[in-house]
Amino acid sequence: MTTASAERFALRLHKVSKAFGGVQALNKVDFEVRAGEVHCLAGENGCGKSTLIKVVTGVHRPESADLIELFGQRIDRITPVQARELGVSVIWQDLALFPHMSVAENIAFDDLVGLRPKSVRYGEMTTRAGKVLERLGVRMELGAPLHSLPIAQRQVVAIARALMNDAKLIFMDEPTASLTQSETDRLLDIVRKLSAQGVAIVFVSHRLAEVLEIAERVTVVRDGNLVGVYPTEGMTQARLGELMTGHHIENDVSARDLPDAPVAFQARGLSRHGEFHDVDLTIKAGEVVGLTGLIGAGRTELAHVMMGMRRADSGDMQLNGAPYRPKSVRAAIEQGMAYVSEDRLSLGLLQKQSIADNTVISVLRKLTSVTGLISESRKADLVRHWIKELGVKIGAPEDPISTLSGGNQQKVVLAKWLATDPKLLILDSPTVGVDVGARAGIFRIVRQLADEGLAILLISDEVTEVMHNSDRILHMADGRIQQEYDPRTISVPQLEERIYA
């Protein structure tokens, strides 16, 4: 970044405050982003990050602010239209794209058929969309329907749409949450390219390693208050986590030897055509086995077979010493299996239902009386037990599950499965979209469950996650288990080198 660009600010906020009812979402917060800078906005879920973004984009009007300035222009009352016209854009985690429209239509939508609808000139639209992609150094089939693209390419389409609107300040909300490591690397290269072109990027991510890699500075917010602004040079993930949460987070290796523990689950020669091959897997009672590797290695497909969602073509499984080959998810649950999916929004939770209903959904039969009706008292007792046991922060059990933070939603998913009294718990990327403090809380629960004898398979593409929370680590690639590692005898860089080779 040049000296000239460093002296020019894309955004300046001073003493911005915003409250919702009795909750102070922002309390006299300062925030500055230089033109062409990649700046991280960090904090736990609920700390005020989204509120701050919505103040800048005109969605929320602050109660008070000494200064709101965009590109040198002081603004007293910004509106969403004004923010966009000035060059502010937000790429939310859900991307807000149109799956059944083409790539070109998605990129050019706001420009050609947005706030001021006009006749669509498809030739011009395709040409302009192509030029924006060229600016990013990306080639893409402009006529392809968006739903046919992987999530990484949809992320690029969202960035291209922002540039079509002449964006000079782009907020990116969890842009890498669903990407593989190689896809993440390509996205970060695009971010660097935009920065070199003078576009300011505010990067919001719970993946602290990539925050420290891509950002020049990081602003930390906690409980609506500014903690501070720090250069990323010399900053560590541990220190950044402490600043975000206000307390020390343990990241030590927790591997243990369990020589006398009985085998809870065993698979031999398990295969499913085109997905995984000759998988041998043993998990002891009380053991946490980490399964890592690149996305597409066959990890989730293996979990689906273990959970009765798919059938293996060959091989055998045993659960607690007995032959195990479930014909359905219900059969798997009845035999002692539980599965926390990587996609809690569509597979783990019923978003329109209450916290209580989501907690008991897997054990309704246990709560049904002889009359065929659910016992409300037994349901309430069960919900109270698991909310207390897992430390779920809620308003009331009857509140919609959507009112909870990502970390608390994930705890409800855990509660749903733990209520079934499982013998083996499969955790498939359990911390996607969960902040650093909530992650630590979830893994404290995982370790406690293991100490109580529950066998756990932890699937994750985050190497630090399996290193710090597993007793053994299995590396899966090309549908096969490649190697087993002891977290106590290998380092994170060594394991990453072998996985990403």
3-state DSSP of 356-383: HHHHHHHHHHHHECCCCCECHHHHHHHH
175 CB-near residues (< 8 Å, 6+ apart) = 91, 93, 155, 187, 203, 205
> Do residue 350 and residue 302 come from a single domain?
no
DSSP string, 419-485: TT--SEEEEESTTTT--HHHHHHHHHHHHHHHHTT-EEEEE-S-HHHHHHH-SEEEEEETTEEEEEE
> Do residue 332 and residue 313 come from a single domain?
yes
> Do residue 171 and residue 83 come from a single domain?
yes
Residue 217 pLDDT: 97
> Do residue 78 and residue 184 come from a single domain?
yes
The radius of gyration of the chain's CA atoms, rounded to the nearest angstrom, is: 24
> Do residue 448 and residue 383 come from a single domain?
no
Domain end call among 421, 451, 480: 421
Residue 229 pLDDT: 96
Residue 237 pLDDT: 83
Long-range pairs, 126-129, Cβ under 8 A, ≥24: 128/164, 129/103, 129/104, 129/160, 129/164
Residue 3 pLDDT: 39
> Do residue 407 and residue 426 come from a single domain?
no
> Do residue 368 and residue 313 come from a single domain?
no
Domain end call among 245, 273, 305: 245
Q: Which domain holds residue 416?
A: 345-421
> Do residue 371 and residue 452 come from a single domain?
no
What is the C-alpha to C-alpha distance for residues 375 and 367, in angstroms, rounded to an integer?
Answer: 6
Q: How far is Cα of residue 123 from the mean position of the Cα atoms in its chain? A: 37
Q: What is the DSSP letter of 166?
A: T
381: left (phi over 0), alpha (psi -120 to 50) or beta: alpha
Residue 117 pLDDT: 59
> Do residue 209 and residue 289 come from a single domain?
no
> Do residue 263 and residue 376 come from a single domain?
no
Domain end call among 398, 421, 444: 421
Give the orientation angle of helix 406-418 with respect to helix 376-390, to 10 degrees. 120
Alpha-carbon distances, residue 108 vs 102, 103, 114, 158, 461 (angstroms): 10, 9, 9, 10, 34
Count of domains for the chain: 3
Q: Are 419 and 360 in contact (CB under 8 A)?
A: yes
Alpha-carbon torsion (402, 408, 413, 417), positive or negative:
negative
What is the C-alpha to C-alpha distance for residues 244 and 435, in angstroms, rounded to an integer?
Answer: 9
Alpha-carbon distances, residue 179 vs 107, 173, 184, 295 (angstroms): 20, 13, 6, 8
The count of other CB atoms within 10 Å of the CB of residue 477 is 18
Picking from 174, 193, 187, 171, the residue whose alpha carbon sits closest to that of residue 87 is 171
pLDDT in tens, 419-450: 888 999 999 888 876 777 777 888 888 898 99
> Do residue 207 and residue 89 come from a single domain?
yes
> Do residue 379 and residue 426 come from a single domain?
no
Low-confidence ranges of the chain (pLDDT < 70): 1-7, 111-120, 249-251, 342-349, 351-352, 369-371, 433
- What's the CATH code of the domain at 70? 3.40.50.300
Q: What is the DSSP letter of 317?
A: E
Residue 116 pLDDT: 59
What is the C-alpha to C-alpha distance for residues 278 and 268, in angstroms, rounded to an integer?
Answer: 7
